[in-house]
Structure 1
Amino acid sequence: MSSLCNPSPSSPSLPQNLPLREIPGNYGFPFFGPLKDRWDFFYFQGRDNFFRSRIENHNSTVFRTNMVPGPWISHDPRVVVLLDAKSFPVLFDMSKVEKNDVLTGTYTPSTSFTGGYRVCAYLDPSESNHNSFKGLLLSLLASKQEEIIPLFQTCLNEFFLEMEDQLKNNSRVDCEPLIDKISFEFVYKLFCDGNSPSDFLMSDGAKMFKKWLICQIGPVKTLGLPVFLNPIEDLLLHSVRLPFFLVKNDYEKIYNAFYSSKSSFIEKAQKNGISREEACHNLVFMAGFNAFGGFITWFPSLIKWVASAGETLHHQLADEIRTVVKSEGGVTLNAIHKMTLTKSVVYEAFRIEPPIPYQYGRAKENLMIQSHDYSFKVNKGEMLFGYQPFATKDPKIFDEPEKFKGNRFVGEEGEKLLKYVLWCNGRVIDDPTVENKQCPGKNLVELMSTVFLVELFLRYDSFSIDANNSNNCVCLSLKKGESLEYDV
């Protein structure tokens, strides 16, 4: 990755042809400034308008503000915001920023949620345990490369069968509970070496994981309650860390199931001098927070955007997928590699609504950061924050950035734009390593997303969603196509 910052920590020089500008914005009075920004963010303006209004007020995509959750709970809510495709990648440059305890931003949940351990996601690559745990996970995923597609296909087959069963009595089906179910099943089997969850976990595991997740990320979320309840929500959700005892019993049941699964991850960690307990807490976090939490956020978003593209794109996808699968004799890695439109659709969904919207990093040294228009000096120790959906919809990079274009990344010119697709604590063209903080499951998620579309359009010609659904769930209606039969 090319650096956007000067390497000198003491006297950063100006990038060429861009005027130096003092970073605009301020943090307001102590306590009251962060409190005002929190209410703007959650209630008065909303997330996107919060950032958009400040871009307009400061005439800059780089500015200072307070980031939620703010008073009482944040370590320090003051951040330098980066909202364009040029400045944003400094957040991925581990020579310029450190990522110690910044996963959830300006506050950190209690380690009680992870057995008293700081798990890999909260560690900076400079910490030895980070390299050990991430290396083990990358090794685990690499060893299961041949198993992933068949395992996910099995889960998807259950998903589509249950959907069709529900559609017999309804014109549409709410697929979010089904996504929760197959995500938990897939994650458990993947990380526990093919072992199936117990009947109890199969029915309640997803709910237990979700409660555990909400208690950790609640302070940066809003429940969408009626306006008159906003003060109560703000006091209970955004002003204090939610206590672990609310989910203690659920977490212990999940932990015990993973611990007794004899996962090869735990066995290898123990051989590397890591206790089984610490390894298992890391495994549960990776399975529950990173994988399960990501899937239940991402797949409804993928469905929503592909549905919104309409039947013309659906027919093009169905034609490409069925043609390639038939010629390759099945859904294989080689077949998926040839599905240029399908992969482009996946990348476009990542671009328009990245499943991980926030990125943080603390400056290791004095930096000079560039936006498209100016240079800005950032001091050592300052917290940098990026809202990813603005960077991936930068109008100076993407034509009609707010529009979903399934073929945006097809062809030579389209492939050049892939370096601006950011969703996994890194660029989509880069790979996770032990030296960076890119999501270790980045390639896995991209593969699963493609397989999801493949299995969908092998079965159906088109589908639509209920855009007027007030419960904010994905309600699907399907147009059945002719099943494609092939020999595997």
Structure 2
Amino acid sequence: SVISKWVLFQLGPVLSVGLPKYVEELLIHSFRLPPFLVKKDYQRLYDFFYESSGFVLDEAEKLGISREEACHNLLFATCFNSFGGIKILFPNMLKWIARAGVKLHTELAQEIRSAIRSNGGKLTMAAMEQMPLMKSVVYEGLRIEPPVPLQFGKAKKDLLIQSHDAVFEVKEGEMLFGFQPFATKDPKIFERSEEFVPDRFVGDDGERLLKHVLWSNGPETEDPTLANKQCAGKDFVVLVSRLLVVNLFRRYDSFEIVVGKSPLGAAVTVTSLKRASF
């Protein structure tokens, strides 16, 4: 609860708590939320990380980073990037897979269990590479509902942004705002762009579409670098999402859910689970 409270304050400018839009704009989107409301909670988290991360902080000092700065970054990466991100990502992933129905569940269970059996009954990275449908399902979940759909940034130089049918001039210093679903649901790129298509990224043609999957603030086919703003945890997010799907269908044939509203992502309640029968 301490972490959730702090994460909610970080996301205040884009949160929706179910109030009328004009009320939310006035109350939580138009000014900075008072830091003192979470200061004590943050200090508790900081003290815990500082006392528990001796080895990591020692390594930071060897690299010229102060223990205090390293601790703040470690806290942010763990509580905001990892916990906060997964709190949004996992429920959304379960939502789309559940809605796809029993046919997909059966296909996933067959593929996942077969690949594990062919690798000596062990779940390995090599085994997961033999699960094209599972990998496609994860990418499709990230495409249709990116966990962080909004991006902001200032132009570092004059540039032109080109769409399919227009060109937009941007001046240095201008603030840019990006809403990812405009691109990831582009009907000129993706057929049935508004639908969850589990096998969209299977095969050579499907893999060629991965460059248009932008959830990490960059193409899925590229890697984060010091020179770009792509998510440093990109590969980790894909890995844990795959593990979620694999471990779910190792144990269960199918499941059903009820989806409710939540300030972050979806509130998912699992209502039934059918244990593995083969």
- 2-side partners of 1:290 and 1:264: how far apart? 21
**Matches of 1:438 and 1:267, distance apart in 2:** 27
**In the alignment, which residue of structure 1 is the partner of 2:32?**
241
| Partner residue in 2 for 1:481 | 275
**Alpha-carbon offset, residue 470 of structure 1:** 6.1
Asked if residue 365 in structure 1 is aligned to residue 157 in structure 2, the reply is: yes
User: Structure 1 residues 470, 281: closer, same or farther in 2, change over 3 A?
Assistant: closer
| Residue deviations 1:4-63 (CA, integer Å, cap 9, x gap) | xxxxxxxxxxxxxxxxxxxxxxxxxxxxxxxxxxxxxxxxxxxxxxxxxxxxxxxxxxxx
> Taking structure 1 as the reference length, what is the TM-score of the superposition?
0.54
Q: Does the aligned pair in 1 maintain the 2:6–2:38 contact within 8 Å?
A: yes
Do structure 1's residue 320 and structure 2's residue 111 form an aligned pair? yes
Query: For residue 149 of structure 2, what is the amino acid of its counterpart?
Result: P
Q: CA deviation at 1:263?
A: 4.6
Instruction: Report the Cα offset of residue 261 of structure 1.
Output: 1.1
Deviation at 1:382, TM superposition (A): 1.4
**CA shift in 2, pair 1:380/1:310, >3 Å:** same
CA-to-aligned-CA distance 1:183-202 (integer Å, 9 cap, x gap): xxxxxxxxxxxxxxxxxxxx
1:218–1:423 distance in 2 versus 1, CA, 3 Å: same
Distance 1:475 1:263 in 2: 38
Q: Is 1:224–2:18 an aligned residue pair?
A: yes
Provide structure 2 residue ranges, at least 5 long, that are not aligned to the other structure.
none
The amino acid of 1:367's aligned partner reads L
1:261 aligned to 35, 39, 52, which one?
52
Task: Say which of 18, 38, 42 aligns to 1:251.
Answer: 42
Question: Is the 8 Å Cα contact of residues 253 and 277 (structure 2) preserved in structure 1?
Answer: no
TM-score under structure 2 normalisation?
A: 0.93
The answer for the alignment partner of 2:66 in structure 1 is 275
- Structure exhibiting the larger radius of gyration computed from Cα positions: 1
The structural deviation recorded for 1:433 is: 2.3
1:218/1:336 Cα in 2 relative to 1: closer, same or farther (>3 Å)?
Answer: same
* Aligned position for 1:86: none
Three-state SS of the structure 2 residue aligned to 1:466 is: strand
CA-based RMSD of the aligned residues comes to 1.7
Structure 1: any 5+ residue segments left out of the alignment?
1-206
Deviations 1:80-120 (A, max 9, x none): xxxxxxxxxxxxxxxxxxxxxxxxxxxxxxxxxxxxxxxxx
Partner of 1:420: 212
The 5 Å alignment of 1:67-466 reads: 207-225=1-19, 227=20, 231=23, 233-329=24-120, 330-466=122-258
Q: How many residue pairs were aligned?
A: 274
Relative to structure 1, the CA distance from residue 288 to residue 327 in structure 2 (aligned partners, 3 Å threshold; closer, same or farther) is same
Alpha-carbon deviation of 1:267? Answer: 1.8
Normalized per residue, the structure richer in strand is: 2
Please state whether the residue corresponding to 1:348 is helix, strand or coil.
helix
Mapped to 2, the partners of 1:263 and 1:412 lie a distance apart of 47
Higher relative contact order (CA 8 A, sep 6+): 1
Partner-residue secondary structure (3-state), 1:255: helix
Do the aligned residues in 1 keep the contact of 2:139 with 2:213 (CA within 8 Å)?
yes
* CA distance in 1 between partners of 2:54 and 2:84 (Å): 20
Query: What is the aligned-residue identity percentage?
Result: 53
Structure 1 residue identity aligned to 2:158? N
